[in-house]
A = this chain, B = another copy of it.
């Protein structure tokens, strides 16, 4: 998996090279190459390989989903949004390059993700590329990531946030792009419709799982263990799974999501499914 992450890092580095105008490309590269875990690209590549495709076929789309993830963090960190000064232990993009450049660099990454898929994807039909672009766009916009963010913003200060409402936020804010990552890889690898839908369900489950585990870690781990401030949700009086369900039931829910995710992989080649199972277990059992 480390090897895959390194291939992705190399591909990202090449895709967004340092060129004129320097400032915007420096800003884009600062956040894009800041050393994330590359979970989304790895899901994209693993889904492509699961259905018989090559890593190289999925790589432009794998880079694209990481560009989208990065731009969503850059815009999310802005003073008018979460107003975060630190991300992965480094100053946030706008702290270094200014808010104006951080907004524009996010916009540029968003546009470039589509350009990169359109220009750099080789060896598959244009029909598939168009379908992939439609899927990626949908999981970003007002029915995807942005929908989750805006409902999250509107929920601040609401006294009663129910389980359905919380699930809507996380299915959009977190799961949509994980779903997109897997579905893009599957389509590029040549999955049939039934396989795409199984993998979509797999991805939605691990997307929700990702968030449930995040909520649990926030209340059970120390800041030192997490590498970021623990207990933030409690301080912000944020609605979380532990708050609504308690820790034990949240853990049960996480188990159920992981189990149901992995059930979707039954019927696929078990050797090829191993990386997706490993990624699901990594998301379920991580410590930070």
Query: Interface on A for B, CB 8 Å cutoff?
Result: 21, 23-25, 28, 71, 75, 78-81, 98-101, 103-112, 114-115, 118-119, 125-127, 129-131, 133-134, 136-138, 140-142, 144, 146-147, 149-151, 153-154
Our pick among B23, B115, B127 for the contact of A141 (Cβ within 8 Å) is: B115
List 11 additional contacts besides A114-B134, A115-B141, A118-B134; criterion CB under 8 Å. Answer: A79-B80, A80-B80, A80-B103, A107-B141, A108-B142, A108-B146, A109-B141, A115-B134, A118-B133, A125-B126, A130-B133
Q: How far is the CB of A214 from chain B (nearest CB, A)?
A: 21
Please measure, in the bound complex, the distance between the C-alpha atom of A110 and the C-alpha atom of B115, giving whole angstroms. 13
A146 touches B107 (CB 8 A): yes
- Residue from the set A71, A106, A111, A144 with the largest chain B CB neighbour count within 10 Å: A111
Given contacts A108-B141, A130-B129, A133-B118, is CB(A150)–CB(B101) below 8 Å?
Answer: yes
The residues of B that contact A71 with a CB separation of less than 8 Å are 107
A24 touches B150 (CB 8 A): yes
A to B CB contacts below 8 Å, 17 in the list: A21-B142, A21-B147, A21-B150, A23-B150, A24-B142, A75-B103, A79-B80, A80-B80, A80-B99, A101-B150, A107-B140, A108-B141, A110-B110, A111-B137, A115-B133, A115-B137, A126-B126
The residues of B that contact A21 with a CB separation of less than 8 Å are 142, 147, 150-151, 154
Q: How far is the CB of A166 from chain B (nearest CB, A)?
A: 15
Q: Please, which residue of chain B has its CB at the minimum distance from the CB of A137? A: B115
Please measure, in the bound complex, the distance between the C-alpha atom of A127 and the C-alpha atom of B79, giving whole angstroms. 41
- Residue from the set A103, A109, A127, A140 with the largest chain B CB neighbour count within 10 Å: A103
Given contacts A78-B103, A110-B110, is CB(A25)–CB(B137) below 8 Å?
Answer: no
Q: How far is the CB of A44 from chain B (nearest CB, A)?
A: 17
Q: How far is the CB of A81 from chain B (nearest CB, A)?
A: 5
Please measure, in the bound complex, the distance between the C-alpha atom of A112 and the C-alpha atom of B141, giving whole angstroms. 6
Please measure, in the bound complex, the distance between the C-alpha atom of A17 and the C-alpha atom of B138, giving whole angstroms. 15
The residues of B that contact A106 with a CB separation of less than 8 Å are 107
Our pick among B112, B118, B138, B154 for the contact of A142 (Cβ within 8 Å) is: B112
Please measure, in the bound complex, the distance between the C-alpha atom of A103 and the C-alpha atom of B119, giving whole angstroms. 27
Please measure, in the bound complex, the distance between the C-alpha atom of A124 and the C-alpha atom of B180, giving whole angstroms. 26
The residues of B that contact A100 with a CB separation of less than 8 Å are 80-81, 153
Please measure, in the bound complex, the distance between the C-alpha atom of A162 and the C-alpha atom of B110, giving whole angstroms. 31
Given contacts A129-B130, A130-B126, is CB(A24)–CB(B104) below 8 Å?
Answer: no
The residues of B that contact A109 with a CB separation of less than 8 Å are 141
